[in-house]
Every structure is written in C-alpha cells, then in structure tokens.
C-alpha cells in the first residue's frame, strides 16, 4: 500500500511491549524492527536505516545516572540528525520527556498508550524525517554524521515599551557604522540577540559574526582561541589555527561575558583591539584584522574598575556606544506579546494546536517577577506548550511559584532544571550545593554543560565548585 511508508525502530526492554508494537505498527508502516536495549543501537541504525526511533526512557543498564533515554536521544541526533526520536515514557517521567523534547526529540508517548495517538505521532515524525532525508524524492537514505543540525537564530522583538523604543532608535543610527558597542543587562535580557540585530543591520552583514563566550575560555587557551596558533606552538598544535579575530575578519566579533576575563589577559585583548592586528601563538608575523567589535556583560564594569578588576583603558576602548537592556519587569507591556510569539514558535516546533493565551494566563505572566527575564519567560512558555493540549494556555499551564521564580522541573534523577539565570541566587546554600553537584553529575563533569543547565557563567560555576569543594 502506498500509505504504508516509513521504517520504525523500537528500543524497549519490555518484551511484551515490543511484541504488541510489532503487531500494531506494520498495519501503518512498511517496516518495523525492535531491539531490547541500546547496546546494538548504532549497528541497527546503520543497517536498518529507520525514519523514526521509538525510544524507551529507561533500561535495565544504568547509563548517565539513569537517564538513558535522554542520553541515547542526544546520541541518535548526533549520529543521524534527520532521524526523528519519539520518547516512550511512563506517566511519572513526563517531565524528563519534556526535557528530551527540548534536546531535540520530536514528541513523547505516555504508557499505556492510545493506539490512534501513537500512530498519529509516529506518522507525523515519519513525514518530517522523510522530508528531511529526501526519501520521498530521489535522494539517498540515512546520513550518518557527527554534528547536530543547526537551528535558526532568534530575531529581535522590540515591543512597545519606551526603553526599547529608545534602544531601537539608537541601533538604527549606529548599526551602519563601525562603532564599537558595549551591551549591558541582566542575564536573559537578550544581549546576544541584540548583538546579532546590530550585525544584521550593518554594512558587514554579508560577512560572518563570530560569537565568543570570553569568560568561558580557560587562561591557557585564551590566546590560542582568540588569536590562533602556528603548527608546533605547543604539544597539541598539529596544524596552523586561525583564532576568532581572524575568523571574524570583515565581519563582527561578539565578545560575550567580557567582564569575566582575568585582569592579566585584558592587556592582551586591549593590544589586539588597539592595533587591529594579532600575532598567532608561536608566530612572529602581525596579521591585520578588520572587525566590528561588540561586547556584552551582566556585570557593572565601572564597579570592577574601582575594585581594580577591570582595566579602565579597555573599558573606554569597548564603550564607544553603550546600550543598557532593561529587565523584563521594566517593560511589562512587552511580556504578553513576547509570550504569544514564543507560543507560535513552540506550537509549530512541537506540533501543538495552541494559538494564544486566555486572560487568566496573561494576568499571571504580567504579575510575575521574571528574575531570569526573557530567557525565563521563553522556558516557561516552552514547557507549557509541550504539556498543554488545549487551544489556549491558561493560568494552570503557566507554572510560576509564589516567589515569582519559574518552577524548576525534576528530570528524574533528582536534578532540578533551572528555568534561567538567577535561580541559584534564590536558594539557600544547602540547596545550591545540591543543585551544583547534581548539575555536574548530569553533565558528566563538563563544566560548560553544567553551567548552561544552571543558567550561570562558567566562572560563576567555578567559584561555586571551589566554595563547596566539589
């Protein structure tokens, strides 16, 4: 039958479930295969070449502190970005499945399942996968790779508030110039989005914008990452490497978290900015670079100067134009329009029938503190869209705790997933230590990943690890 298209791979350790699905699914799909664990998953992907993997969240073998589904969903998307993953979960693990969708899974199905809904979700996932792979045309099948598919960047939403109207006028004036810009504001206010907007409106928009989390670069790699190195400059320098300055030549270099750069490294950065040239590590030749520089920080640089932690000459060099982004609580008239924008994005992404907010939801959103700002609002709306099946979000869907912070969701291993930056400051030391410890365990010791989960910068997480002796 022409309608029986698509290959479904089931990964579930329950023999009864595998048998039931192997009876049900062939009525709607051309091929169905089932394996009891991820042990043979990679080989099966290469041999069977499925469109969709129906993946159980838990198996007998403990991987990644029990979150096998999250781990293997991420691995599948790394190896075969075009294959869609549908998570198979018990009711108690719905929050974990939500996290899985945020990491790239297509959808989730709760056990015990409804046959019609199961087939509907798998069919939608199949259609998306086949379109991406070109299987309904003449293109070849599965593409194995080691990279995640890129996602489109967010665009600027100016809103109607007076502070943002002033900023918009400023951007219109300075974007076509090469003026250096310093963007300040709390975590989650959209400093990186504004930087991209300035670049997009500039005369350099046809050239790359290279973004660097300056505070996340280790001291030993600082010069190599920014200025590059020549072959043989150090033990692992097996080839010449162009640093971020060279990569941004002709375009824009965005240095985020610039306030976290150690004082002794600021001089090297200042020298490169002033001379508009760099010398690769291990090299001797000055290489000219033509860049437009945009910097951002959530720190008070003037206070850091007074404390002797930031160079005054560097501050004036990066501060030709200063744009201070307001906190979301200072532009409350923009909260509902932003939320509605996010609903549209996530409803499309997660295939939900939502169209907007009812009055009760609007009231809750407008009354919240939003300590994590736009990033926190986005997180709350994304979760609400995933879990809701109504046409409009209601107050019950908007999970805000009484203190005004977005509720943290448990991922099944005890880790509370923070809704955005600032959450660590809202808890006591004992709870903070537990959050940090759990985040490090969940990230497998990867500090960058743990910092991202907690909504803080790497230097901040370093300080927390030192504080608690972790």
Q: How many whole angstroms separate alpha carbon 252 and alpha carbon 243?
A: 14
**Residue with the larger pLDDT of the pair 459 and 408:** 459
Residue 421 pLDDT exceeds 80: no
**CA proximity to 110, closest of 127, 99, 123, 95:** 95
How is residue 107 annotated by DSSP?
E
Q: How many whole angstroms separate alpha carbon 185 and alpha carbon 329?
A: 13
Residue 62 pLDDT exceeds 50: no
Decide if 323 contacts 361 (C-beta within 8 A). Answer: no
**Residue with the larger pLDDT of the pair 38 and 29:** 29
Q: How many whole angstroms separate alpha carbon 234 and alpha carbon 241?
A: 12
Q: How much is the average pLDDT of 406-418?
A: 38
How is residue 55 annotated by DSSP?
E
Domains, the chain, in order of start with CATH, read 7-133 (3.40.50.2300), 162-324 (3.40.50.300), 328-393 (1.10.8.60), 409-467 (1.10.10)
SS (H, E, C) 412-439: CCCCEECCCCCCHHHCCHHHHHHHHHHH
**Residue with the larger pLDDT of the pair 132 and 169:** 169
Least confident of 77-91, 92-106, 318-332, 399-413: 399-413
Burial class, 31, CB count within 10 angstroms (exposed 0-12 / middle 13-18 / buried 19+): middle
Q: In the prediction, which pLDDT does 344 show?
A: 87
**CA proximity to 454, closest of 382, 150, 446:** 446
Whole-model pTM: value is 0.60
Which residues, 6 or more positions from 223, have their beta carbon under 8 angstroms from its beta carbon? 229, 243, 268, 281
Respond yes or no on whether the N-terminal peptide bond of residue 446 is cis (omega within 30° of 0). no
Residue 142 pLDDT exceeds 60: no
Residue 402 pLDDT exceeds 70: no
Q: Which helix (H) or strand (E) holds 82?
A: none
Q: In the prediction, which pLDDT does 353 show?
A: 84
Q: How many whole angstroms separate alpha carbon 377 and alpha carbon 419?
A: 8
Q: How many whole angstroms separate alpha carbon 50 and alpha carbon 56?
A: 16
Euclidean distance between the first and the last CA atom of the chain, given in angstroms as a whole number? 59
Which range, 89-103, 213-227, 438-452, has the best average confidence (pLDDT)? 213-227
């Amino acid at each position: 039958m022409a309608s029986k298209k698509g290959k479904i791979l089931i990964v579930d350790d329950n023999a009864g479930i595998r048998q039931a699905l192997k009876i049900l699914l062939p009525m709607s799909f051309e091929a169905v295969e089932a394996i009891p664990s991820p042990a043979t998953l990679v080989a099966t992907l290469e041999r069977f070449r499925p469109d969709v993997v129906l993946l159980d969240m838990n198996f007998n073998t403990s991987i990644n502190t029990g979150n096998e589904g999250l781990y293997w969903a991420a691995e599948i998307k790394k190896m075969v970005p075009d294959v869609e993953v549908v998570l198979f979960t018990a009711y108690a693990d719905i929050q974990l499945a939500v996290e899985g969708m945020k990491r790239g899974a297509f959808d989730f199905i709760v056990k015990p399942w409804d046959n019609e809904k199961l087939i509907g979700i798998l069919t939608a996932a199949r259609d998306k996968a086949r379109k991406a792979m070109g299987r309904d045309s003449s293109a070849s099948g599965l593409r194995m790779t080691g990279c995640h598919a890129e996602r489109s960047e967010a665009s600027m939403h100016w809103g109607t508030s007076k502070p943002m109207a002033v900023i918009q006028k400023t951007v219109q004036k300075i974007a076509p110039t090469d003026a250096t810009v310093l963007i300040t504001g709390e975590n989650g206010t959209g400093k990186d989005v504004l930087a991209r907007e300035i670049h997009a409106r500039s005369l350099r928009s046809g050239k790359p914008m290279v973004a660097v989390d300056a505070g996340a670069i280790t001291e030993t790699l600082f010069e190599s990452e920014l200025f590059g190195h020549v072959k043989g400059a150090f033990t692992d320098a097996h080839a010449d490497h162009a640093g971020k300055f060279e990569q941004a030549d002709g375009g824009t270099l965005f240095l985020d978290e610039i306030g976290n750069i150690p004082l002794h490294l600021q001089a090297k950065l200042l020298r490169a900015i002033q001379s508009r040239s760099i010398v690769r590590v291990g090299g001797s030749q000055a290489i000219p670079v033509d860049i437009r520089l945009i910097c951002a920080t959530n720190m008070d640089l003037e206070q850091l100067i007074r404390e002797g932690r930031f160079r005054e000459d560097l501050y004036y060099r990066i501060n030709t134009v200063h744009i201070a982004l307001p906190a979301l609580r200072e532009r409350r008239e923009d909260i509902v329009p932003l939320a509605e924008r996010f609903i549209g994005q996530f409803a499309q992404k997660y295939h939900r029938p939502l169209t907007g907010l009812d009055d009760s939801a609007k009231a809750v959103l407008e009354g919240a503190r939003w300590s994590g700002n736009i990033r926190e609002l986005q997180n709350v709306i994304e979760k609400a869209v995933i879990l809701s099946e109504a046409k409009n979000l209601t107050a019950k869907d908007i999970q805000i705790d009484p203190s005004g912070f977005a509720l943290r969701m448990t991922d099944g291993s005890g880790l509370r997933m923070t809704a955005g930056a600032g959450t660590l400051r809202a808890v006591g030391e004992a709870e903070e230590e537990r959050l940090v410890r759990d985040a490090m365990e969940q990230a497998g010791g990867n500090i960058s990943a743990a910092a991202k989960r907690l909504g803080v910068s790497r230097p901040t997480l370093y300080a927390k690890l030192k504080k608690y002796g972790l």
